[in-house]
Amino acid sequence: MTARLAFDEQLKLLNSELTNMAAMVERAIEGAAVVVQEGDAEGAQKIIDSDGLINTQERDIERLCLKLLLQQQPVASDLRNISAALKMITDLERIGDQAADICEIVMNLPKAKRLLNIEHLPKMAKTTSSMVHCAIAAFVESDIEKVNAVLSMDDEVDALFDAARDEIVADIRQGGPNESEAMDFLMIAKYFERIGDHAENIAEWAEYSINGIHKGHQLYQG
């Protein structure tokens, strides 16, 4: 028996809008990886432009959440879902910014240097994109296993960052990039690593929506 058809419809809408936003962000991460590998200026511009769409999507979801808080005065799992969604979209939006930042760095490199041959960067991009997908799926499907999967993927990303940094240092020693370029390469690796951290945040809020625990702490203890 249910007495809240309209509210349930709006919660479904919230889930589908979040999934859409996550898909936009995943495309941005994967696109940034292609830009890094191929030095594609046109592709870079597309990702920078798509960041505006991600920002608009964030505003739309934020408005929906605030409307639900106002109209439904949610409690229990409804309160956890809506407040978690509000936190998650901030991280998704930041990931969009960072994908665009990566593209800007590549665009600002001299044309001949735009082909970054750092083996670990595509792996970082692939893993972080999976993390975002998995974190949102954890939320939508209330699946705690997926939360744990995201947390262990973040450890992989951290290890990949260390490996990418070692790779850049080795390239410098072999007379590869100059100081300024090396800094840019390291920044790109760091942005991917930060994207992993944001995806981890999203997974942590997904866990909160499922069981009320955030980073190992019960947020409500009276």
Closest CA to 123 of 50, 196, 59: 196
Q: What does the alpha-carbon distance between residue 119 and residue 167 come to, in Å, rounded to a whole number?
A: 8
Q: What does the alpha-carbon distance between residue 130 and residue 111 come to, in Å, rounded to a whole number?
A: 30
> For another protein, which residue of 19, 37, 45, 77 counts as binding (CB under 8 A)?
77
Distances in Å between the Cα of 189 and the Cα atoms of 26, 54, 65, 118, 210 are: 17, 22, 34, 9, 32
Minimum CB separation from another protein for residue 1, in Å? 5
Q: Does 4 bind another protein (CB under 8 A)?
A: yes
Q: Which is nearer to another protein, 79 or 186 (CB)?
A: 79
Q: Does 219 bind another protein (CB under 8 A)?
A: yes
Minimum CB separation from another protein for residue 5, in Å? 11
Q: What does the alpha-carbon distance between residue 17 and residue 120 come to, in Å, rounded to a whole number?
A: 32
Q: Does 7 bind another protein (CB under 8 A)?
A: yes
Minimum CB separation from another protein for residue 81, in Å? 10
Which listed range, 3-11, 55-63, 94-102, 153-161, lies at the site for another protein (CB under 8 A)?
Answer: 3-11
Handedness of CA 104, 39, 127, 129 (dihedral sign): positive
Q: 56-75 mask for another protein (x: CB under 8 A)?
A: -----------------xxx
Q: Does 174 bind another protein (CB under 8 A)?
A: no
Q: Does 5 bind another protein (CB under 8 A)?
A: no
Q: What does the alpha-carbon distance between residue 200 and residue 195 come to, in Å, rounded to a whole number?
A: 9
Encode 175-191: b = buried (16+ Cβ within 10 Å), e = exposed.
ebbeeebeebbbebbeb
Minimum CB separation from another protein for residue 139, in Å? 17
Q: Which is nearer to another protein, 6 or 112 (CB)?
A: 6
- Asked if 101 and 193 touch (Cβ cutoff 8 Å), the reply is no
Q: How many residues bind another protein (CB under 8 A)?
A: 20
Q: Which is nearer to another protein, 178 or 218 (CB)?
A: 218
> For another protein, which residue of 42, 174, 216, 220 counts as binding (CB under 8 A)?
220
- Asked if 23 and 136 touch (Cβ cutoff 8 Å), the reply is no
Q: What does the alpha-carbon distance between residue 45 and residue 24 come to, in Å, rounded to a whole number?
A: 15
Give the binding site for another protein (CB under 8 A).
Answer: 1-4, 7, 73-80, 211-212, 218-222
